[in-house]
A and B are shown apart, each in its own frame.
Chain A
Amino acid sequence: MARAAEATTVTKGTPVGRRVFLGMVGLAAAGVVFGSKAQDWLEHALAPITSRDGTGLSSFLPVGRFRIYTVTGELPNKSEAEYRLKVGGHVNQPLDLSFADLQAMPPTNLDKDFQCVTGWRVHNVKWVGVRLGDLLTRAGIKPGAGGVEFHSFDGEYTESLTMDQALRPDVIVAYSMDGKTVSSEHGGPVRLYVAPMYGYKSCKWLDGINVVQGEPQPGYWEVRGYDVDGWVGKSNGRDDTPTS
Chain B
Amino acid sequence: MVATTHRPAERQRLVRFDKAERTLHWVNATLFLIVMGTAAILYIGPLSAAVGRRELIRTIHVWTGIALPVPVLLTLASGRWGAGFRADVTRLNRWTQDDRRWFRSFGRDPYVRLGKFNPGQKLNASFVAGVIVVMLATGSIMKWFGYFPVDWRTGATFVHDWVAIALFAVVIGHIGIAFSDPDSLGSMLKGTVDTRWAREHRPRWYEEETTAGAETPLQ
Interface residues of A (CB under 8 A from B): 9-18, 20-21, 23-25, 28, 31-36, 38-39, 59-62, 66, 68-70, 72-75, 77, 118-120, 183-185, 225, 236-238
Contacts and interface: CB of A to CB of B under 8 A. Distances in A.
Contacts of A225: 146
Contacts of A23: 130
A68 B158 contact: no
Interface size band for B: 35 or more
A61 B94 contact: no
- At the interface, is chain B mostly helix, strand, loop or mixed? helix
Contact of A36 (B125, B126, B146, B155): B155
B52 A74 contact: yes
Contacts, number: 145
Contacts of B49: 68, 75, 77, 183-185
B176 interface: no
B14 to A, nearest CB: 17
A73 to B, nearest CB: 5
B130 A14 contact: no
Contact of A74 (B53, B152, B162): B53
Nearest to A9: B96
A35 B148 CA distance: 14
A21 B129 contact: yes
Interface in B146-172: 146, 150-159, 161-163, 165
B55 interface: yes
A119 B153 contact: yes
B153 A73 contact: no
Nearest to B125: A17
B54 A35 contact: no
Contacts of B175: none
A193 B122 CA distance: 50
B45 interface: yes
Contacts of B156: 32, 35
A24 B127 contact: yes
B99 interface: yes
A32 B115 CA distance: 37
A160 B20 CA distance: 57
Contact of B94 (A13, A21, A183): A13
Given A24-B133, A39-B155, 9 more contacts: A13-B99, A16-B122, A17-B126, A20-B127, A21-B126, A60-B44, A68-B45, A118-B157, A225-B146
Nearest to A14: B95
Nearest to B159: A31
A24 B93 CA distance: 15
Contacts of A69: 54
B195 interface: no
A35 B94 contact: no
B218 interface: no
Nearest to A239: B150
B68 interface: no
A223 to B, nearest CB: 15
